[in-house]
Amino acid sequence: MRKKKKLVVLTGAGMSAESGIKTFRDQGGLWEEYDVMEVASIEGWRKNPELVLRFYNERRRQLERVQPNEGHKILAELEKYFDVHIITQNVDNLHERAGSTRVLHLHGELTKARSTVDPSLIYDIGYRDINPGDKCEKGSQLRPHIVWFGEPVPMMDEAVRITTTADIFVIIGTSLIVYPAAGLLAYVPEYVPVYLIDPNVVNLPAGRKVEVIKEKASVGVAILRDKLIGSQGIESLR
């Protein structure tokens, strides 16, 4: 049995938008409802922790109501044929709920809380609220397990390591604006084919050959599946 090729997929907000997850950047998105620095920065947390907790409690309740879309499901199915590693900028758990088994969250996870004095103390909370007064075992207030603007991205080194070993690299639903995640493309070996799935225009680095599939995630991932399976000579998943 031949070794599976490593398919590394970087996903952003556009991956989950079809599931009904509100994004920050789209028209009518969260940036029109909230000042991002009020709810997604350490300064915002220090200024008004109640607002920050309420914001993420709302996001968590919304997440409980939505379902993985067809794009999530196809990526999970591709594990039958490829060694799939998903690096996601999303804080939802839709990849996991669709069946993907190797998911690295760059920006944290909505369904977890962590201590404000010891970042190694991380708790699975599911879809429950975090309230003022909810404390870790060291007696400190719990906060969302989210990487806010200006904070280091602890999983970035692992994401780079995975990216450098890709046989195929795919970008889905991300504007490639938010760093350091946007810089991952620079770590993809030059000989590795790169695909971009996004209905919007994405600024790509000059000189890098990228095959663009200008579709929303569910449609684009289905097209990608057929391209990859055809190129591998594998019987269609359908």
Residues annotated as catalytic (active site), given as ranges: 107
Identity of residue 10: L
Alpha helices by DSSP H, the chain? 13-17, 30-33, 36-39, 42-47, 49-65, 70-77, 94-98, 156-164, 217-232
- The answer to whether 59 and 109 are in contact (CB under 8 A) is no
Identity of residue 229: I
Q: How far is the CA of 178 from the CAs of 73, 148, 150, 181, 222, in angstroms?
A: 26, 12, 11, 6, 26
Burial classification of residue 154, based on how many CB atoms lie within 10 Å of its CB (0-12 exposed, 13-18 middle, 19 or more buried):
exposed
Among candidate residues 18, 2, 27, the one with its CA nearest the CA of residue 70: 18
- The answer to whether 141 and 134 are in contact (CB under 8 A) is yes
Q: How far apart are CA 197 and CA 212, in angstroms?
A: 6
- The answer to whether 112 and 105 are in contact (CB under 8 A) is no
- The answer to whether 163 and 169 are in contact (CB under 8 A) is yes
Q: How far apart are CA 86 and CA 184, in angstroms?
A: 13
